[in-house]
Amino acid sequence: MCQVATDMKKVLARKHEKFFERHLQLLPSSHQGHDVNRMAIVFYSMVGLSILDVDVPAKYNYHLDWIRKHYIKKTLDDKNSTVISGFVGSLVMDIPHATTVNIANTLFALLSLIMLKDYEYFESILDRESLSRFVSRCQLPTRGSFVSCLDYNTNSASPVDSDDLRFCYIAVAILYICGCRSTEEFDRYIDTRKLIEYIMAQRCCGGAFGAHNEPHAGYTSCALSTLALLSSLAELSDKFREDTITWLLHRQVSCHGCMQLEDDSNTTYDQSDDGGFQGRENKYADTCYAFWCLNSLQLLTKDWKLLCQTERTKNYLLDRTQNTLTGGFSKNDEDDADLYHSCLGNAALALIEGKFNGELCIPQETFDDFCKTCHC
Ligand SMILES: [Zn+2]
């Protein structure tokens, strides 16, 4: 690469870094307790900064105390006085006598602690047993799927709460971080067979996963990542794998005479989105689906980089949705950059570089270091 190009790359990396930094410093500390999305903001920012090779543990360790404070242990009012634990998104949500921890904030917090290399916390403070027990209670016994939190009155998963593939993924990712690897280990806390049956029931006729037989790239990535963490991708038939790969490849917008131009069924793509991915049929390309589709493809085939021409995806992200003025990525080339798309835009690029663990959505090196130190 010529010197000018290298310097430009550095300037943009610095702009992205500043973009994520601004989000971490967004709210004055006196207001932080009121922001229920704060744990997600910390997670997305730290993923972005870790990808950019910022020394997150050294630079942002002042967030440790804040995250640790959100870990809540509760003794339930049942005949066994069951102890459960997890994270709340905000301290105003820590209401006495109510179980307010939820699995999404728990996963955001655990992954943020891993990125901060707070290994002491995993070794001596975090109670993996009660945390896994909380996850266990979020499973709906009849459906096998998961909800995000427990019912205030019954302290069990409420059958009226929404349950979908996202929550299944979150539940399994938490157990994986807590050390579960084999089916026997997962079975200690959840009904793994029933969960796999639920995931298989979300398969769509022409490949991919989604609710009510409508394939969706986000749900597909959640389903495949969950199966990968459970070491159960082999449950999928060759035919379904092939159909899913084909469906995913057709989500890539192409003006080079392949993919969507071959079958003219997709009329809403924009040719200048070449290389980007859409989340569903007949939708415009969107930065985040580059990550969801590429993550799905890399779980299904080792030839994914050749099949979908990742160079074109890189060009789409860098030339079309990257904001070269403010740093960050936007959903498309019209909106302002936002934290979610900035995180996933960088994640897609890191995945293409082979440096990202798509199943857990953190840099591979970060997770390897955690596993080595915490022997999980
Ligand atoms: Zn998006």
Indicate the pLDDT class of residue 264, thresholds 50, 70 and 90. very low
Q: How far is the CA of 282 from the centre of ligand 1 (A)?
A: 15
pLDDT at site 80: 87
The domain locations on the chain are: 206-216+232-375
> Ion ligand 1 — residues with CB under 5 Å?
286, 288, 331
- What burial class does residue 57 get, using C-beta atoms within 10 Å of its C-beta: 0-12 exposed, 13-18 middle, 19+ buried? middle
Q: How far is the CA of 336 from the centre of ligand 1 (A)?
A: 12
% residues pLDDT > 70 (the chain): 90
pLDDT over threshold 60, residue 183 = yes
Q: How far is the CA of 144 from the centre of ligand 1 (A)?
A: 28
Q: How far is the CA of 288 from the centre of ligand 1 (A)?
A: 4
Higher pLDDT, 266 or 57: 57
Per-residue pLDDT reduced to its tens digit, 277-316 = 999 998 999 999 999 999 999 999 999 999 988 999 999 9
Q: How far is the CA of 289 from the centre of ligand 1 (A)?
A: 6
pLDDT at site 1: 55
Indicate the pLDDT class of residue 11, thresholds 50, 70 and 90. confident
Indicate the pLDDT class of residue 262, thresholds 50, 70 and 90. very low
Q: How far is the CA of 204 from the centre of ligand 1 (A)?
A: 22
pLDDT over threshold 60, residue 198 = yes
pLDDT at site 261: 43
Indicate the pLDDT class of residue 55, thresholds 50, 70 and 90. very high
Check: CATH 3.40.1280.10 for 206-216+232-375? no
% residues pLDDT > 90 (the chain): 74
Q: How far is the CA of 118 from the centre of ligand 1 (A)?
A: 31
pLDDT at site 2: 64
Q: How far is the CA of 302 from the centre of ligand 1 (A)?
A: 25
Q: How far is the CA of 340 from the centre of ligand 1 (A)?
A: 8
Q: How far is the CA of 345 from the centre of ligand 1 (A)?
A: 10
Q: How far is the CA of 313 from the centre of ligand 1 (A)?
A: 15
Window from 137-151, 204-218, 252-266, 300-314 with minimum mean pLDDT: 252-266
Q: How far is the CA of 207 from the centre of ligand 1 (A)?
A: 21
pLDDT at site 90: 79
pLDDT at site 333: 86
SS (H, E, C) the chain: CCHHHHHHHHHHHHHHHHHHHHHHCCCCHHHHCCCCCHHHHHHHHHHHHHHCCCCHHHHCHHHHHHHHHCEEEEECCCCCCCEEEEECCCHHHCCCCCCCCCHHHHHHHHHHHHHCCCHHHHHHHCCHHHHHHHHHHCECCCCCCECCCECCCCCCECCCCCCCHHHHHHHHHHHHHCCCCCHHHHHCCCCHHHHHHHHHHCECCCCCECHHHCCCHHHHHHHHHHHHHCCCHHHCCHHHHHHHHHHHHCCECCCCCCHHHCCCCCCCCCHHHCCCECCCCCCCCCHHHHHHHHHHHHHHCCCHHHHCCHHHHHHHHHHHHECCCCCCECCCCCCCCEHHHHHHHHHHHHHHCCCEECCCCEEHHHHHHHHHHHCC
Q: How far is the CA of 4 from the centre of ligand 1 (A)?
A: 31
Per-residue pLDDT reduced to its tens digit, 80-96 = 899 999 999 877 766 66
Q: Which of 7-16, 93-102, 249-258 ranks highest by mean pLDDT?
A: 7-16
Tokens (6 digits) for 55: 């020394």
Q: How far is the CA of 291 from the centre of ligand 1 (A)?
A: 10
Tokens (6 digits) for 60: 């942002």
Window from 9-13, 141-145, 222-226, 355-359 with minimum mean pLDDT: 9-13
Q: How far is the CA of 123 from the centre of ligand 1 (A)?
A: 36
